[in-house]
Amino acid sequence: MDRDDQRRYLVVGSVILEVVTPLFQQKIENEYTTGGFGSLQAFINSQQVIHTLFHLRHRNSWCCKDKAKCRNHAALPLVYCQWKKLYSENPGPGIHNCHCKFTANQVQLKDLDISLSSLILLNCCNLSQPEEEAVQLLRQYKNDYLSHNTTGCITQIEYNTLWPDLVTYVLRLEPTKHDDLVRIENRPLDESLCKKYFTCLLDLHQQLEEIKSTMQNVHLSIQAVSSTLTGLNSSVQTTVQGMDTTVQVIDTRVQVLGNSIKGIETSVQQTNDFLKELLQKGLTCECGRQITIPFCNDQPRRNRKQYQIGKDIFFLHNQLNLQSLFNDDKMGFISTVKMMDDGRLMFCFPYKDSLLLCNTDLSQVDSIPVQGEKWWVTAVNNSTVGVLVAKQYRSYIEVYDINNKHKLKTISVPGINPYCGITMVNNKFVVGGECRLLIVDHQTGETVQIIETDYTPFGLHASGDRIFFNDLSINKHKTLKMYSCSDNKVYTKTLPSVPALITSLQDGSLYVTCDDRSIHHVSNDLKHTKKVKINNIEVLKGRFIVSYNTTQNKMVVLNRNILSILHKKK
């Protein structure tokens, strides 16, 4: 997948979702407020609007009111999920196929995607001819370049013709959006955001209709089998009357049955093919139903080759002396080192007022200013990190744009402990507190879940939907714990020594560093463990930090000021 093509997709998708959609919503709000309606619900519940939208969903219907204004459209652009989002059927008896049967839901402007909002604008609002053209074309561009684009890419040739038109018609609707368009056009690739937008923009309605058609074929095949079996039963009953004739009939029936079964197998296979195709996309349809899978070449772990526990997986590629990063600062030491998905190294210094980012040969060192005591950092995506910061006797999560070197937001989390660690699970922060894990939405700052634990967690690490941790208290339990988000259960594994830091490998298994200066390889189900033996065993002597990046297939080991970079064996 070409990263430039993917970035162009992100740019176009960002315009549609961040500029065009809110702009459409704002124009609808202007329409109903100037019309004297107090809310969107009141507007779509008005006689004229509900009557208009009703006929965009229903064909061959004549309403009890305004029959002269009823329309029988050749196409029905308002799909089922959109209609159900807007209206609910009134209980009790009512006039069949009339808009009087329905009442507007308490829908909000933010619930209207570009498809639904454009339908309302074009059919229920007062637009000038240039505005109407702009709305139609912007919606069309979304359909042409995004709705059925399963690659998540836009080529340079397509972009060169699309971008000037996007700018033209956005500015026609709202001239003040110029700066927003410039900002988005220069946006770097953010794979996490690209995945999110990809799932929002792709239209599954057509694929789902194909599945529905296939399942109908399966149903017809089953009915044919049922009919055939009934005929077989009848044939058996007449056996005593004419054996030769019956055998011939049964033989014919069996052939029909075989053909019917083949038809079912074909239909089921077609259905499976459709479902596999959808599941490989990681999509949502505009009604909000979501199928979530990893994006950007992140294959399911169960399909990856499982490593033999304790096997020599890595070899030492090179070692770096990090003394030059400290500048003779006696207070300087590294608490966290992470390899980003693009291969750069991120260093966290608790007592220095910055994070450091550099290449693996220590070139192109960038300093990101961060005030306060910081022990932990985690990558949100390739351009954003979350840092656990303690200052002025309080602790926060701070989010930084590492490319532009500035703070994006500060998140205050009640009960947070700055020494527990920070990681990401299901695109949310995970931090620790006293005998609990805290799941925090990195966009809203809201604590969305609290998970009780027996002790204060330490060394937090997430892999897939699993959160791993151990004991921060002085009791020094030899227990590694795992919380599974899928079944809301905590699993444990007792190790030969007290676990410290945790990282996961490409197959989902773990490397766990321990207080006895050893490292243990733990299977992804926590059932098996074995001490790791690496050829260059000197790498693992002493207190050390281990971190593995699944995208780069590389592991970094920090032992005092010596950073070892290990590559996975082929």
Confidence of residue 121 (pLDDT cuts 50, 70, 90): very high
Mean pLDDT of the 224-241 span: 54
Q: Which of the 8 DSSP states describes residue 325?
A: G
Per-residue pLDDT at 553 exceeds 90: no
Residue 468 confidence (pLDDT): 93
Give the Cα separation of 86 and 123 in Å (integer).
Answer: 15
What is the share, in percent, of the chain residues with pLDDT greater than 90?
Answer: 27
Beta bridge partners of 432: 437
Look at residue 245 and tell me whether its pLDDT is greater than 60.
Answer: no
Cβ proximity of 254 and 262 under 8 Å: no
**Residue 148: what pLDDT?**
81
User: Which residues, including other chains, have CB under 8 Å from residue 501's CB and lie 6 or more apart?
Assistant: 459, 461, 512, 513, 545, 546
Quick check: 420 and 431 in contact, CB under 8 A? yes
The SS3 call for residue 199 is helix
Kindly report, residue by residue over 123-148, the tens digit of the pLDDT.
999 989 889 999 999 999 998 898 88
Per-residue pLDDT band at 278 (split at 50, 70, 90): very low
CA dihedral 389, 194, 464, 543 (to 10 degrees): -40
Flag the least confident range among 191-195, 200-204, 389-393.
200-204
Query: In this predicted model, what pLDDT tens digit does every residue of 14-44 receive, in sequence order?
Result: 999 999 999 999 999 999 999 899 999 999 8
Identify the helix (H) or strand (E) that includes residue 116.
Answer: helix 114-124
Amino acid at 185: E
DSSP string, 342-399: TS-EEEE-TTSSEEEEE-TTS-S-EEEE--SEEEEEEEEETTEEEEEEEETTEEEEEE
CA–CA distance, 182 with 18 (Å, rounded to integer)? 13
Secondary structure (3-state) at 450: strand
**Dihedrals phi, psi of 495, to nearest 5 degrees:** -105, 165
Pair 435, 454: CB distance under 8 Å: yes
Q: Which of 303, 299, 265, 304 is nearest to 280 (CA)?
A: 299
pLDDT score recorded for residue 313 = 83
Query: Quick check: 421 and 429 in contact, CB under 8 A?
Result: no
CA gap 534, 528 in Å, rounded? 18
How confident is the model over 155-174, as a mean pLDDT? 92
**Joined tokens for residue 554:** 């590389």
CA angle 328, 333, 335 (to 5 degrees): 160
Q: What whole-number distance in Å separates Cα of residue 432 and Cα of residue 425? A: 13
Question: In the prediction, which pLDDT does 210 show?
Answer: 47
Q: What is the DSSP string of 3-70?
A: HHHHHHHHHHHHIIIIIIHHHHHHHHHHHHHHTT-SSHHHHHTSHHHHHHHHHTT-SS---SS-GGG-
Helix H or strand E segment including 256: helix 243-279
Instruction: Record the pTM.
Output: 0.50
pLDDT of 492 > 50? The answer is: yes
Going from the C-alpha of 269 to that of each of 211, 216, 273, 292, 494, the distances in angstroms are 11, 14, 6, 22, 45
Cα distances from 357 to residues 370, 401, 561, in angstroms, run 13, 12, 16
193 in helix, strand or coil? helix
Quickly list DSSP for 408-435: EEEEE-TTB-TTS-EEEETTEEEEEETT
The total number of residues written for the chain in this structure: 570
Measured CA to CA, the distance from residue 40 to residue 57 in angstroms comes to 19
Task: Name, in order, each residue with C-beta under 8 angstroms of 125's C-beta and a sequence gap of 6 or more.
Answer: 27, 28, 31
pLDDT of residue 232: 55
Mean pLDDT over 398-422 rounds to 91
Q: How far apart are the first and last CA of the chain?
A: 22
pLDDT of 279 strictly over 50: no
pLDDT (0 to 100) of residue 396: 92
Q: Are 550 and 504 in contact (CB under 8 A)?
A: yes
Query: In angstroms, rounded to a whole number, what is the distance separating the alpha carbons of residues 84 and 148?
Result: 23
**Per-residue model confidence as pLDDT tens digits over 59-111:** 666 666 666 667 766 567 778 788 888 988 776 555 556 767 788 899 999 88
In tens, the pLDDT along 344-374 reads 899 888 888 889 888 888 888 888 999 888 8
Q: What value does the mean pLDDT of the chain take?
A: 79
How high is the pLDDT of residue 335? 85
pLDDT higher than 50, residue 291: no
